[in-house]
Chains A and B, each alone.
Chain A
Amino acid sequence: MKKVLIANRGEIACRIIRSCRALGLETLAVHSEADANAKHVGEADEARAIGPAPAKDSYLVADKVLQAARDMGADAVHPGYGFLAENAGFARAVADAGLIWVGPAPETIADMGDKARARALAEAAGVPIVPGSRSFAADDNAGLEEAGAAIGYPLLVKATAGGGGIGMKRVDAPAALLETVEATENMAEKAFGDGTVYLEKLIDRPRHIEIQLFGFGDGNAVHFFERECSIQRRFQKIIEESPAPGLSPKIRQAMAEAAIALAKQERYRGAGTIEFIMAPDGEFHFLEMNTRIQVEHPVSEMITGEDLVALQLRLARGDDISRLNQDSITARGHAIECRIYAENPDKNFLPTPGPLEVFRPPREGGGIRVDTGVREGDEVTYFYDPMIAKLVTHGAERGAAIEKMLAALDEFRIEGIVTNIAFLKRIMTHPAYLGGRTHTGFVDEHKAGLMKE
């Protein structure tokens, strides 16, 4: 393994290039027409254009990415997150082309990408799952009423192929069940080409807590503790931290053991995350497994001092990483990540593409880390995700990390577009956040206090 093609853009492409360089690996960037002068293109050793601006014509086209690898002599592919990262067909095509896939086995990606299958595998590993029903399809809704009654109301209708809050609907009473199920089946058929749905118990005021895993592909796996990711908007995370505030050592341990059991059962290979939903009483359930590096991985790196992307690459390269074992992974202090988005929280999080006339992140070091894929003078285009940077701070305890975050947010200067920086500061100073009273409805619950009047 000599040259790694990075099938991504933005901050994660830059992040992967950094670890490649540290390991002496050459890097090949791919880019759309809109990204010809992007930061990740400038930082890679080589770059290759793969098509027009819309992702469906460039970053999502497996054949173009593979062609770039062949033409430029890359021998490995790191997918980052999003785009083709959880596309089992792409992972298989990479391997079939004789290249090294920096990720888990294609079969694992396929298994975990199918929600019903993932639930069954979690259950088999002894991981608690949210009470739910069998799958229903448009022409097969028999027993629906009984399934709803067994779970109880309110409940959720979820598309089997959905994710990220897409294809998910709440039902408060039996009368609305059939109608909601049919509408979701219809939508899922159009959006994902798979119209099956299932019912799931709705957990009120849940917290989203996940375990960072690393598997060796031989049935052995370690964890890097948990991340709390409850502060979200539109089902997307805004703030992540570790450790999860107020989580009892007993629950943390049980969660980690459950995650490890599933990773071992699947003979998981590389970095992955198991997401849990936790009820206010501490009961937790399997939500899903992400078979890739995640946006918020720096939080775990800050508390453990490990480089997860480097570990992915070293495992793929065949390095001996046997020195990594559970006892060698220790957590120190508290880390928080704030996602800087090009969006206006005061206008219902309206995305705000435009020119970065000023872009000056705080200085890194001393417990402050900035991962970004943009520079001053760049244009934030409307084609891609609105996340333009991740600001991560580390302190001896939570209060110190929050204080550092506030100072860093203060120092972060962005002009030309509206961002969520002021909104993040309001969360960081909100009594409910400071008290660790987080749940996934936090932003909605405290809307009045978080928006500019």
Chain B
Amino acid sequence: MAEQVMTQAPGNVWKVLVKEGDSVAAGDTLFILEVMKTEVPHDAEATGTVSKLHIAEEDAVDVGQLAVEIE
């Protein structure tokens, strides 16, 4: 099952914890946004492999932006 992880809020990408090709399990944190001084972790909902990263650390992102693709 392919999964597309979208950003939940506008903010700055603080940490990216995976790279393309990594295996991830449901619940693993993929990246963390910094929004209004708050860390907002984004987790994988399904198990799979990171096929594409659309974000990098320090990027400014909008809400609902495609961030990580998992296959």
Q: Does B17 sit within 8 A of A, measured CB to CB?
A: no
Given the known inter-chain contacts A351-B38, A353-B35, please indicate yes or no for A382 contacting B11, CB distance below 8 A: yes
Tell me the complex Cα distance, A343–B40, Å. 12
Which of under 10, 10 to 19, 20 to 34, or 35 or more describes the interface residues of B?
10 to 19
Which of A54, A347, A350 has its CB near the most chain B CB atoms (within 10 A)? A350
* Chain A residues within 8 Å of B38, by CB: 234, 349, 351, 386
Across the interface, do B8 and A385 meet the contact criterion of CB distance under 8 Å? no
How many interface residues does A have (CB within 8 Å)?
A: 16
What are 29 A-to-B residue pairs whose CB atoms are below 8 Å? A54-B12, A234-B38, A342-B36, A343-B36, A347-B8, A349-B38, A350-B8, A350-B35, A351-B9, A351-B11, A351-B36, A351-B38, A351-B40, A353-B9, A353-B10, A353-B35, A353-B36, A354-B10, A382-B9, A382-B10, A382-B11, A382-B12, A382-B35, A383-B36, A384-B36, A384-B37, A385-B36, A385-B37, A386-B38
Which B residues fall within an 8 A CB radius of A? Answer: 8-12, 35-38, 40
Q: How far is the CA of A394 from the CA of B28 in the complex (A)?
A: 47
Cα distance, A112 to B36, chains bound together (Å): 26
List B contacts of A54 (CB < 8 A): 12
Tell me which of B9, B10, B12 has the highest count of chain A C-beta atoms within 10 A of its own C-beta.
B9
Q: Tell me the A residues contacting B by CB distance below 8 Å.
A: 54, 234, 342-343, 347, 349-354, 382-386
Q: How far is the CA of A398 from the CA of B16 in the complex (A)?
A: 48
Report the nearest B residue to A386, measured CB to CB: B36
CA distance A68 to B68 in the complex (A): 43
Q: In the complex, what's the smallest C-beta–C-beta distance from B6 to chain A, in angstroms?
A: 13
Report the separation of the CA atoms of residues A352 and B9 in the bound assembly, to the nearest whole angstrom.
7
